[in-house]
Amino acid sequence: MAKPKIGFYWCASCGGCEEAVVDLAEDILAVTAAVDIVFWPVAMDYKKADVTSLPDQALTATFINGAIRTSEQEEMARLLRAKSRYLIAFGACAQLGGIPALANEFSREAILSWVYQDAPTVVNPERVRPAVRTDDDGRTLTLPEFRNVVRTLNQVVEVDYYLPGCPPTPKLIKAAVGALLEGKLPPRGTVLAPDVALCEECPRKKTKPQDLHFTAFKRPHLVPLDPELCLLAQGLVCMGPATRGGCGALCPGANMPCTGCFGPTSRVRDQGAKMLSSLTSAMEAKEVPEVEKVLAGIPDPVGTFYRYGLAGSLLRVNTTAAAAASKEAL
């Protein structure tokens, strides 16, 4: 019997998710023994034609990492959706937007003018910007279109499963590939990780107080950290209570607070709102000026609470930026 075919692809991502596949180390041999990898541009020489020439649903599963920002990424996501029986959003960016989705705090125009004109290190007197089509001396060059907003994979195509994390851990990848090969798949739409908060598996859990009393929020680079005490009890913003477990509490184990890359559990729609709620309600302050003083300890609330989840959040995008985009569309 022919081996199942699988594919890997990357969109708006850093490459860390691809590295996570390589981090399977010698276990990757077991994977390649069981399946044929027929598309993996980052690791081997494949072309788009290798996919377009396949019949629909020829691939058993495709793992796509990265958010969707450009027209090319959208096109590849649609192509791979058509060719795959299971499409798996691999990693925080594909699942929730990830770090690239923080760009949704700003309009497309603000981003382009900063990157190509206003940033202090840019020298661009002719104000050249990337164009979808450029005619030069009889030749035509094309580039993908830079879209208005960053999207999660499931805002562009239907997604069957989600592997969370920045990046997903080898243990979860192995479990997912195993479940796929054995046909032991959970209901469609499931996030392939435990459905409990990170605190459940944190080695510091026993030191987490019943009630927290924040009098200030501290930032990890400014205070010495106790390696054993619950980080929330030390006054740090640790996203553990609002974040799905499954990583084995890697960051708290390395004396750093959780930043939330596994996204919310299934009971939560908006991870940032939930963390904001949990954290601020445990403050001591009772008067507005006092409250404001403590809140100033979190100078970038969107970047803190929505570090990996802005595109998948309830608001998705800066409203003013969305309005600018809709005017352009008219």
Partner 1 sequence: MPENNWQPRIVAFFCSWCTYTAADLAGVSRLKYAPNIRIIRLMCSGRVDPQFVLEALARGADGVLIGGCHPGDCHYAEGNFKTLRRYQMLRRVLGAMGISEERIRLEWISASEGERVRMVINDLVERIRILGPLDLPGRLAACDAELGASAQALRLPQYRQPAADLREVIHG
- Residues near partner 1 (CB under 8 A) are 74, 78, 105, 145, 147-149, 151, 154-158, 172, 175-176, 179, 184-187, 189-196, 246, 266, 268-270, 272-274, 276-277, 280-281, 283, 285-286, 288, 291-292, 295, 298, 301-302, 305, 313-323, 325-326, 329-330
Q: What is the DSSP string of 178-219?
A: HHHHHT---STT-BSS-SSBGGGG-TTGGG--SS--BS--B-
Closer CB to partner 1, residue 258 or residue 310? 310
Closer CB to partner 1, residue 28 or residue 276? 276
Cα diameter, the chain: 71
The minimum distance between CB 101 and partner 1, in angstroms, equals 12
The minimum distance between CB 227 and partner 1, in angstroms, equals 27
The minimum distance between CB 133 and partner 1, in angstroms, equals 17
Alpha-helical runs (H) found in 35-143: 48-52, 71-83, 92-96, 108-113
**Closest CA relative to residue 305, chosen from 273, 266, 269, 263:** 273
Q: How far apart are CA 261 and CA 265, in angstroms?
A: 12
Closer CB to partner 1, residue 189 or residue 227? 189
The minimum distance between CB 187 and partner 1, in angstroms, equals 5
Closer CB to partner 1, residue 192 or residue 258? 192
CB distance 236 to 225 below 8 Å: yes
Q: In which region does residue 187 sit, left (phi positive, over 0), alpha (psi from -120 to 50) or beta (all else)?
A: beta
The minimum distance between CB 231 and partner 1, in angstroms, equals 19
| Structural element, H or E, at residue 40 | none
Closer CB to partner 1, residue 36 or residue 290? 290
Strand 36-39 to 5-10 pairing: parallel
